[in-house]
Amino acid sequence: MKQQLEALVTEMIEHRIYLDEALDEFEKRFIQTALSKTRGNQTKAAEVLGVHRNTLNRKISQHKLNGGR
């Protein structure tokens, strides 16, 4: 996993993807995956992610996600 991450980071740097953009995209995908695995249950997704449900709800809005549904 560490080697894959290092390769991905190197590729992103070479393509001039900045840290804020990378973090934003990572957070979005992390949330989407958690919502998918919990079949859209935001309470369970928040537990999986280790955040409060209100924080998850805010981030869903921030990233313009559909809440996993």
In tens digits, the chain (69 residues) has pLDDT values of: 999 999 999 999 999 999 999 999 999 999 999 999 999 999 999 999 999 999 999 999 999 998 655
What's this model's pTM, rounded to 2 decimal places?
Answer: 0.83
Closest CA to 36 of 28, 27, 45, 24: 45
Q: Domains (ranges, CATH) in the chain? A: 2-62 (1.10.10)
Closest CA to 48 of 21, 24, 68: 68
Per-residue burial over 34-57, b if 16 or more Cβ lie within 10 Å, else e, is: bbeebeebbebbbebbebeeeebe
